[in-house]
A and B are shown apart, each in its own frame.
Chain A
Amino acid sequence: MMLLHKFKMVILVALLSVVFLSGCTTLPRTGPDTEPAIRQQADLVPEGTVLDVEVYDPIEGFNRGAYRFNYYFDKFLFLPIVATYQFIMPDYAEDRVSSFVDNVYEFNNFTNNLLQLKLKKTGITLSRFVINTTVGVAGLWDPATRWGLHRQKEDFGQTLGHYGVGHGPYIVLPVLGPSNLRDTTGLVTDAVAFAVAGPPAWVDDDTTTLVFTGVAAVDKRKRIPFRYYGSGSPFEYEQIRMLYTKKRELDISN
């Protein structure tokens, strides 16, 4: 497992660095007139300490590029589409779409709860799917939550984490945002499983799947209030990287 991951990582790093950046350094440019700062990390943090904020990020140059790319992608394409969608759709209909999308993706919650042998949560997920698909009219409503059956989110990244796979290098995915090698692997696996054995396979109609994928992407972006460079902190990249890593640890630990 370890070796495989190392191998994958090497390939990924090589690929990404070739494709996106050649010679993009993350160190500041210095000159003959550069003088050290009054306050420096070496004086303030005991030597050898690895801080939470120092997440393993060997492809930081690429990641910062992808982070910037996502800002522009959001600004010029994704968010205008989301805004148009919100303008056209009544709020009530938007909520029905969200419920529907969530219900379809219960497939991944189900498989991953099962893979982690969380039987109670697997049962809850199955019951939710049955209740919401029938009583909730094909998932347009979510009566299950009102009855105390809360969504049990699990993805394959969490499943890998559950079985001891570390997060690996941090990756900012173009369009999709913060991730790491483990979670990217999980994302791909979930997507493949979903397409091959999940609802798209049951429906078996390319157009329907395509439309659903598009609507689901817009619906998901709509529900995430995060805006790139919207925090007002010069350290947003560092903060998001740390929070993402911590949040995933929390997701995996339960």
Chain B
Amino acid sequence: MRPWLTSIVLFLLLGLPAATLAVDKPYFYPYVNPLEATVMELPPFYQADIPDKVPTKTFKVYPFPEREIPKVFWYEDGLVCSLTYQKKEAPLIFIIAGTGARHNSPKMVNMQKALYQAGYHVISITSPTHMNFIVNASSTMTPGNLREDAKDLYNVMQLAMTKVKDDIKVSRYHLTGYSLGGIQSAFVSMLDEEKKVFDFERVLLINPPVNLYTSVNILDGMLKNIPGGANNFDAWLDNVMKKLAEAEEQMGYFELNGDYIYKAYKRFPPREDFLAALVGVSFRTDSASMIFASDVMKGGGFITPKNVGMSNSTALTPYYVVANRTSFEDYFKQHFVPFFQKSDPSLTEEKMIRMLSLRSIEPYLKSARKMGLLHNEDDIILAPGEIGYLDQLFGARAKIFPTGGHCGNMNHQDVVDFMVDFFAGQEG
């Protein structure tokens, strides 16, 4: 072959892949089924490259130092937050956790690591639906009211900053949150426009619901996948245990870790209804804790008797049973709306449902150039048409991945890259 021909061939062979590499590698997510995407852990190969450990410390804030905490919550003492810190001056990002999650839930820790790596301080805040928040930091002790929760969160953020201001140097502030924390970020950001304490530069909503009421009912409804409903939970659990025992028998061993579960999952692919039930059970477990904490803090009457004294030895089993048989709909109608009606008699269920929605602050969301959206087209918490609505509402500020379920892809390399670019102001 002539030298010039060789060089052309070489150029074609070598140059072509180089040219393709320059274009973005297409996003690939290993779970096409949105329920699988939501439930299963992302295999390590697709996970973002983040450090194992980042400098993090926890601290407590006391928004209501005078509040008398019922004895049954004797172990509750202050709202625990965490700070991931840089040694030098850096921007700070507040993250609000999803429903029932704490400042150190696995998703939160992953975000702390990714954002630390990108050069940010991070303050992680437990969800207002978590017992720790309800008992220590909620003014209404009735989580779910986005405007009220936003005030509490804003208050906590200020107290947190007071707590850490001597340890770190902050250049500017950003805000983010996933799932319920995502929609809450929008309301907190709106409050910040008025109060200007932080004057957030960028706000990212990750997998938020459009309407909290709709999304929660979708999650709650997944319990219908337990044949016979909540009262048949035991039989369902027995069946799950039996399946686990079978898997163990065939695999020859049992370990309770991600690797084992993934292997078992590959060999015995679970059915769709099982995955849906799992999501439902997980949600109901969180909401049961929330409802109990809220009821006890306000003196009872909903799922616990009114005016009883519970000690650190009180058996809570009967309330556990009731809480696990209380849907969000029950909470909403029998506890939540009546509570807020006391201070606003004109409030109706319909009015409240409309308030629990991004649509209720649509003009702000449209105009807030600082705000971005990260979502998945197949997110299971959205009703039909809602992803289209978000896409239209946020326009160029929306990044919507085709797959990933509800928050399943938050530690995917492409998703993490997008988050980091967003806060740097370089998103595509």
CA distance A36 to B132 in the complex (A): 26
**A238 and B316 form a contact (CB under 8 A):** yes
> Which A residues lie within 8 Å of B231 (CB)?
44-46, 49
B45 at the interface (CB under 8 A from A): no
A147 at the interface (CB under 8 A from B): no
Given A28-B309, A246-B241, A254-B249, answer yes or no on A38-B334 (Cβ-Cβ < 8 Å).
yes
How far in angstroms is the closest Cβ of chain B from A121?
A: 9
Contact code string B377-413 (vs A, CB < 8 Å = 1, else 0): 0000000000000000000000000000000000000
**B313 and A65 form a contact (CB under 8 A):** yes
**B320 and A235 form a contact (CB under 8 A):** yes
> Which A residues lie within 8 Å of B323 (CB)?
235
Contact code string A36-55 (vs B, CB < 8 Å = 1, else 0): 11111100111001011110
Contact code string A61-99 (vs B, CB < 8 Å = 1, else 0): 100110010010000000000000000000000000000
Nearest chain A residue, comparing its CB with the CB of B256: A247
> Which B residues lie within 8 Å of A39 (CB)?
302-303, 322, 325-326, 330, 334
B56 at the interface (CB under 8 A from A): no
How far in angstroms is the closest Cβ of chain A from B382?
A: 27
Given A39-B330, A232-B132, A249-B241, answer yes or no on A27-B314 (Cβ-Cβ < 8 Å).
yes
Interface size of A as a range: 35 or more
> Which of A36, A150, A249 is close to B305, meaning CB atoms less than 8 Å apart?
A36
> Which B residues lie within 8 Å of A207 (CB)?
none
**B289 and A31 form a contact (CB under 8 A):** no
How far in angstroms is the closest Cβ of chain B from A69?
A: 11
> Which B residues lie within 8 Å of A28 (CB)?
304-305, 308-311, 314
- Classify the secondary structure of A's interface with B: loop
- Total A-B pairs, Cβ < 8 A: 136
CA distance A238 to B319 in the complex (A): 10
How far in angstroms is the closest Cβ of chain A from B334?
A: 6
Given A28-B308, A232-B289, A234-B72, answer yes or no on A38-B303 (Cβ-Cβ < 8 Å).
yes
Interface size of B as a range: 35 or more
CA distance A29 to B102 in the complex (A): 31
B315 at the interface (CB under 8 A from A): yes
Nearest chain A residue, comparing its CB with the CB of B244: A250
Given A28-B314, A150-B252, A235-B292, answer yes or no on A250-B245 (Cβ-Cβ < 8 Å).
yes
**B302 and A35 form a contact (CB under 8 A):** no
Contact code string A1-45 (vs B, CB < 8 Å = 1, else 0): 000000000000000000000001111111101111111110011
Within A223-238, which residues are at the interface with B (CB < 8 Å)? 229, 232-235, 237-238
**B293 and A234 form a contact (CB under 8 A):** yes
**A35 and B317 form a contact (CB under 8 A):** no
Contact code string A187-203 (vs B, CB < 8 Å = 1, else 0): 00000000000000000
B288 at the interface (CB under 8 A from A): yes
**B315 and A34 form a contact (CB under 8 A):** no
> Which B residues lie within 8 Å of A54 (CB)?
317, 321
> Which A residues lie within 8 Å of B162 (CB)?
none
**B75 and A30 form a contact (CB under 8 A):** no
> Which of B131, B241, B253, B302 is close to A38, meaning CB atoms less than 8 Å apart?
B302
B282 at the interface (CB under 8 A from A): no
Can you offer 7 A-B residue contacts whose CB atoms are under 8 A? A28-B305, A28-B311, A28-B314, A29-B310, A40-B322, A53-B320, A253-B245
Given A235-B323, A253-B245, 17 more A-B residue pairs with CB atoms under 8 Å apart are A26-B315, A28-B309, A30-B305, A30-B309, A33-B307, A34-B305, A37-B304, A38-B335, A39-B302, A44-B321, A44-B322, A52-B234, A60-B315, A64-B315, A232-B132, A234-B293, A249-B241
